[in-house]
Structures are given as structure tokens and as C-alpha cells.
Chain A
Amino acid sequence: MSNEMTGSEILLRALVEQDVEVIFGYPGGAVLPIYDALFQQNSLRHVLVRQEAGAVHAAEGYARSTGKVGVVLVTSGPGATNAVTGLTDALMDSIPIVCLTGQVPTHLIGNDAFQEADTTGITRPCTKHNYLVKDIKDLSQVVHEAFYVAKSGRPGPVVIDLPKDILQGKGGYTAAPREPRKSYRPQVKGDIRQIETAVELIAKAKRPLFYCGGGVVNSGPRASQLLTEFVRMTGHPCTLTLMGLGAFPASDKQYLGMVGMHGTYEANLAMYNCDVMVNIGARFDDRVTGKLSEFSPNSKKIHVDIDPSSINKNVRADVPIVGDVGHVLEDMMKVWKARQYSPERKALGEWWKRIEEWRARDCLHYERNDKIIKPQYALECLRDRIIGREDAFITTEVGQHQMWAAQFLPFEKPNRWMTSGGLGTMGYGLPAAMGVQVAHPDALVIDVAGESSILMNIQEMSTLAQYRLPVKVFILNNEYMGMVRQWQELLHGGRYSESYMESLPDFVKLAEAFGAVGLRASKPSEVGDLIDEMLAVDKPVIADILVDKAENCFPMIPSGAAHNEMLLGPDDQAAKPISEEGMVLV
């Protein structure tokens, strides 16, 4: 047959049909045929990472900043196993990824062949779905279906395992089907009667609160717009989860800041005291709810989620609505307008008065110091220089710096904030920033990092150099795994078991070794100028900010505590012992 192609060609053609522009990958024996096909075409760009974990996080950054599916290509065995952390990360944070893994030829599967791993077996629990292609006839349809599964409903990672003989075999190509797979059709429109019930509750609420999460971001920029309009229409307060930052403008007066373990005092007390909670695209994660039995004890809960398994998982919803938040918000606004609802102004006024009292506690306050750089101060300096810039994208690693970044940096728009929320993957931020920069070559992309996290995927500095990606790595260097140390202070008598980082590299020299620019600040007076210089350089930068080694991240709801038991600062810490129940929690 004349229209026969090799498996690799079929694969690439399917990727092009799926609008793929960039692949993050690393070659190896099993995927050589794909790399050979890549070499002979110009539609797809390949970014060569330095380790497969970096490829998946880069694809996550790409996906989160564009709303498109991120694509990864790795070889069999270790290529696939190195991708597992990233896949799990994408599963937890609902990020659409298609990961192509090489596999030994079908006749060798199960033989413990060189670089063989049971990739579909290993990735089954850490993907939304996975495939092993055993017949070239299925290849193009599997790729099309994988993209559909990855991006529809609650997005997530999908693995396609590709035996080498399939890649080298010959077969025909079929275009993407119009009708998706029968057994997987996520519900997009919410039940209108439930929506009416919800809107009535919202309209009659005396102490309402919108609690919104990553689902709003995943639904697309329009969902954020609708959310903003609806919240303004109601005059209600709004808080966001770590995953939701940017879904509602941080500068809005109705915004209470982030909710949860390191969320603001006003957001958490509003959660505790509200009478109607409108959860839009958040999942009552344990970092948000704190002690479940005392979670927002007197509120009716409306829960909008595209994934039915998120509803009634941790917290019982009074009004469950399964659907895409964009569609549901649109319907909610229609109902609100059609029924000419107006907010309960008097009650709402009193509610806002209480909220303002909580807000007046200024929970993000910290002790200023003109000798030592406070990490919060460094972030304030950064904030002042990026505020109002629509092209500023922030990624983070995991730990104290991540929480401070979430607290102090301004997010006015969705898709500007990439952080590992669910899995808490140290080493996420640098490769994620790389993916963001690939998608937005002219944007300002900053990885707010800690000195420990950054070392987990530091090899990707080399990728930045190769592709001239001017990512700025902003390290809040306290020479500790700060969050580990903070918990050791809180729970383990200040015994800093293995949380001190000795023999750290000289980050300035390290930057230079990677062909980047290294900058350092050790005094508060130097921070502003350093950031100006960092932003002016058109190259990758590592900024090493030597911050207060002892600073801890507040406010904090200790594990196992309720929202009204927040610690506001180090003085609070000593007064309240943590329950044994709380000690067990992570």
C-alpha cells in the first residue's frame, strides 16, 4: 500500500493533528526510530532535557501556562521510571500530559530485556489512563484518544507505551474520530435544578464565601472571567486555594488571600464562620480543611466539580454539582439575573465588617530587619517589580519559599502560577519554568526556589543554556530545608535531624558554569538592585538571596488543628502544643 508509513511517522503525524508544537524528551534505544523520524521533519520541535523528570515537569509548565496538552517523549526502562514522579505530580494537580514511552519489542516483553520495565504496570496508578500499543493498526487511534482523555473532564497524564517493533513496523494512518470513546464522556453541563438551588442559597446567604481552586484555571481563562464577574455581582468574599491563585484577581477588594495551612487569617476564619460555602473547582484537600470534624461547622456547602469522585470524598456537599466550572458559572449567572436576585446587603455588610477586623490583624506581617534579608522582604521587592506585568509567570519549588511566594506575589490572571500543589515535588520549579519559557519565549519567567529544592533538578540549567531560555531562578537561600526545620521545631523539639544543608555549591559560580548569570545578595539594601539586574539580563540567571536562616512561615494551621486555631507567629507557636492526632498527619 502506498499510504503506509512507519509507526514513528504515524505517531508524529497524529501529534501534529493534535496541534502539538513542542515535545520535551530524552532519547534512548527504544525510541531511536521516533528520534530518527523527528530528525526528518519540521513541524514538531523537540526540547532535549537533561533528565526525564525534567521533561515531565517542563511539559507541566508548558501545559499550565498555555492550557494545552504537554507532550513528553522518553525511552523505555529508566526513561519511563524517571518520568513517574512527574506523572504523579500531573495526576495530583490535574495537568494534561501525554507521555510517550519507548518499550522493548513486543516479542521481548516479559523477558527482562535490556531497559525493560513494566511501564503500563508502574504507571497505572499514577496516570489518568495508559496504553500499551501492541498492534500498529491501533496506533493513530490510541494517540488521538490519549489526547482526548488527557484534556477532557478532569485533565491528567496519559502514558502511551510504544514497543520498538511497532515504531519500526508499517501501517496506515487514521484521522482523529469525531465521536470520542463511549465509555469516557465527562459531564460538562451541570444539573440546572441543582444550580438553581445553589444560586438561591448564594443569594440568601448572610455569611457567604467563594472558595475556588485549580478547576477554575483548568476550565480556561473564560471561567476565571466568569468567576470574577459573578463574585463581583454578588459582593461576596472570595478565597483561592494554592492551585487556584490567579483565578480571581489578587488586587480585588473582595479577595481574602489564599486559604489553607499557610493561608491568610481572614480567609481561614471566613471558611470557619461562613454560612454558605461556594466551592468552585476545589477539592477540600487536607491542606485546606485542616481538622475535618471542625471544618466550617455551620455552613451549607455547594460543590462544583467536573470529577464526581471529588464530591463527598472528604466533606459532604449539601448541593453537589457535577460539571465544568465555566459552564456552571455561566448558568449560575443566568439564574441570578433571571430571578433578579440581589445580595443580602445588611447581613453582608456585617459579614464584611467581621472580615475586615480579621484582615486588620495583618497576618502576613513580619519583623523587618535592615541587616538580615527576610525572605518575605525579598519577595516584596520582587512583587514591586513585577506587579502589573501580564507577562510575568512564576513557578516554585516546594517548601517555605513556595508558601511565601503564594502569600506575597500578585496573581491577577490565571495560568501565571505553576506550583506543585498536590504531590509537593521538590525540583518541580526549574523544569516547569523551562516549559513556561518555551511556550512564552518573550515572557518573564521566574522560579522562586529554595537552595535545597533547586538542587533536585539543577541539571536543567544546561537545557536553559542550550535553548537560550532566560529563566530567572530566585533562590531564597537559608541553608535549611526550611519547611522540614519548621516542622521539627513545631513537632520534634527543635531537633534538626538532617534538615541542614552543608556544603552547598556556590550558586554564582554554578550559574556561570552553566553559562548563566549568577547574582548574590546578602544585605536587604542589595535586594532591589539585584532584582533589577536580574530582570535586565537576557540570559538565564541564578539569584542567590541569602535570607534569614531562622525565619518560619506564618500564619499556619498546625496539622490536625481547625481553622480557628491558627498560629499567627512564633509567639503563638510556643503556647499551643500539637495534639498526638495531629503529629501523625503529614
Chain B
Amino acid sequence: MSTEDAAERHTIAVLVDNEPGILARVVGLFSGRGYNIECLTVSEVDHEKALSRITLVTAGTPMVIEQIKAQLNRLVPVVAVRDLTDEGNHVETELALVKVTGKGEHRVEALRIADIFGAKVDDTTLESFVFRLDGQTEKVDRFISLMRPLGLCEVARTGVVAISRGKESI
């Protein structure tokens, strides 16, 4: 039985007509049918054709993932649905802004680790930094956990955006 299959994490790209309520439709579909959303990003990607792209990360059994894609496709304003995880090769990244406060040795250490991670300093005061970091979810997670003992006080993350490798497009 499918319900005994293990849950898999999938990154799905959804191209939609940019019209009012489309995000509510997608989110409502997930809440109404009890699917998970781990993260979701949305932005217009083609102003002329009024297309937006939603990237979402979800988890479920293979049967549930198939349902999610079929249900998304069923929405009238949905132009295309791509399962980037199924297609294999894709680029995935997210952006985080991480605020760390502190003085002395902690502050120096935070800056040193930020440097190792290739994070940029977007704002600084004598008692705080705002680091900007991009990369895969795991890298951002690791950075945040390293900052925790060094005075981490606030995090803003975009969630994942993803695109397939190679010349094929959605």
C-alpha cells in the first residue's frame, strides 16, 4: 500500500497566470487536501505574459506527490507544473538574512564564520551584524546553527527557488 511508502521531499516549480487569488488557490489546495508545504516562494517572472512562478517544497509518499502535481495542474490558471526532484538535475538555492548581536570574541567569531561561508555583511552597528547568505537549504541551516551560540537574534529566509539545469525550460 502506498500509505506505507516513505515520504519524499520534492521541489516543484509551478508556472501560473499572474492573476488575483492564484496564490490563495495554490495554498488552499495544500491546506484543504492536507498536503505539506515546507516552503513556498512566488514572484512574477514574465511581466508581458503576466506569468508568475511558484517554487514549492513539499513532502509526501510517491502517490501523494503525484496527486499534488495532478491537483495543481487542475487549477485553471496553472500553465505548467514541473517536478524538479523527479527530473533530477536542477539548481536550488535560497537567500537568508541573519541578524547576530554581540560584543568581543563572539562578534569576531561570527564575522570569521560568515567569511568562511561567503556571507556578505549587509548592515553593521557596533553591536550587530546583518549577514546575507545564499546557497542550498542545508548550508543556510548550518550557518544559522553556528550563529546560534554567537548571538543569533533574527532570521529571514526566502525559501527555495529552483530551476532545471541544461537548455530545457519549463
- Pick the contact of A125: B28, B63, B74, B77 (CB < 8 A): B28
Determine whether B158 belongs to the interface, using a CB cutoff of 8 Å to chain A: no
B17:A183 contact, CB within 8 angstroms: yes
Q: How far is the CA of A128 from the CA of B71 in the complex (A)?
A: 11
B67:A309 contact, CB within 8 angstroms: yes
- Pick the contact of A309: B32, B70, B79 (CB < 8 A): B70
A183:B79 contact, CB within 8 angstroms: yes
B78:A183 contact, CB within 8 angstroms: yes
Q: Which of B14-44 contact A (CB under 8 A)?
A: 16-17, 20-21, 24-25, 28, 32
B74:A316 contact, CB within 8 angstroms: no
Q: How far is the CA of A364 from the CA of B116 in the complex (A)?
A: 77
A309:B73 contact, CB within 8 angstroms: yes
- In this complex, the interface size class of chain B, counting residues with CB under 8 Å from chain A, is 20 to 34
Determine whether A105 belongs to the interface, using a CB cutoff of 8 Å to chain B: no
Q: How far is the CA of A557 from the CA of B70 in the complex (A)?
A: 30
B76:A312 contact, CB within 8 angstroms: no
* Count of A-B contacts judged by CB separation below 8 Å: 46
Nearest to A146 among chain B residues (CB) is B76
A309:B74 contact, CB within 8 angstroms: yes
B73:A308 contact, CB within 8 angstroms: yes
Q: How far is the CA of A110 from the CA of B15 in the complex (A)?
A: 29
- Chain A residues in 8 Å Cβ range of B126: none
Q: Encode B54-76 as 1/0 by CB contact (under 8 A) with A.
A: 00000000010011001101111
- Chain A residues in 8 Å Cβ range of B21: 120-121, 124, 130, 132
Q: How far is the CA of A120 from the CA of B77 in the complex (A)?
A: 15
Q: How far is the CA of A182 from the CA of B78 in the complex (A)?
A: 10
Q: Encode A170-193 as 1/0 by CB contact (under 8 A) with B.
A: 000000000001111000000000
- Chain B residues in 8 Å Cβ range of A45: none
CB distance from A134 to the nearest CB of B (A): 8
Q: How far is the CA of A128 from the CA of B74 in the complex (A)?
A: 9
- Pick the contact of A183: B25, B71, B76 (CB < 8 A): B76
Chain A count of residues within 8 A CB distance of the other chain: 23
Determine whether B1 belongs to the interface, using a CB cutoff of 8 Å to chain A: yes
Q: A132-B20, A308-B70, A312-B63 are in contact. Are A181 and B25 (CB under 8 A)?
A: no
CB distance from B10 to the nearest CB of A (A): 16
- Chain A residues in 8 Å Cβ range of B77: 183
Determine whether A293 belongs to the interface, using a CB cutoff of 8 Å to chain B: yes
Determine whether A22 belongs to the interface, using a CB cutoff of 8 Å to chain B: no
Determine whether A337 belongs to the interface, using a CB cutoff of 8 Å to chain B: no
- Chain B residues in 8 Å Cβ range of A128: 76
Q: Encode A115-159 as 1/0 by CB contact (under 8 A) with B.
A: 000001100110011101010000000000000010000000000
**Interface centre among A134, A292, A309, by most B CB within 10 Å?**
A309
- Chain A residues in 8 Å Cβ range of B71: 309
Q: How far is the CA of A120 from the CA of B70 in the complex (A)?
A: 23
Q: How far is the CA of A308 from the CA of B69 in the complex (A)?
A: 10
A124:B28 contact, CB within 8 angstroms: yes
Q: A293-B1, A309-B71 are in contact. Are A149 and B76 (CB under 8 A)?
A: yes
Determine whether B2 belongs to the interface, using a CB cutoff of 8 Å to chain A: yes
- Chain B residues in 8 Å Cβ range of A121: 21, 24
- Chain A residues in 8 Å Cβ range of B75: 129
B: residues with CB less than 8 A from A are 1-2, 16-17, 20-21, 24-25, 28, 32, 63, 66-67, 70-71, 73-79
Sorted from nearest, which 5 A-B pairs have the closest CB atoms? A309-B70, A129-B76, A183-B79, A308-B70, A184-B76
A: residues with CB less than 8 A from B are 120-121, 124-125, 128-130, 132, 134, 149, 181-184, 292-293, 307-309, 311-313, 316
Given A128-B76, A181-B76, A183-B17, 7 new contacts (CB under 8 A): A125-B28, A129-B75, A183-B16, A183-B77, A184-B76, A307-B70, A307-B74
**A-B residue pairs in contact (CB < 8 Å), sample of 21:** A124-B21, A124-B24, A124-B25, A128-B76, A132-B21, A181-B76, A183-B16, A183-B17, A183-B76, A183-B78, A292-B1, A293-B1, A308-B70, A308-B73, A309-B67, A309-B71, A312-B63, A313-B67, A313-B70, A316-B2, A316-B63
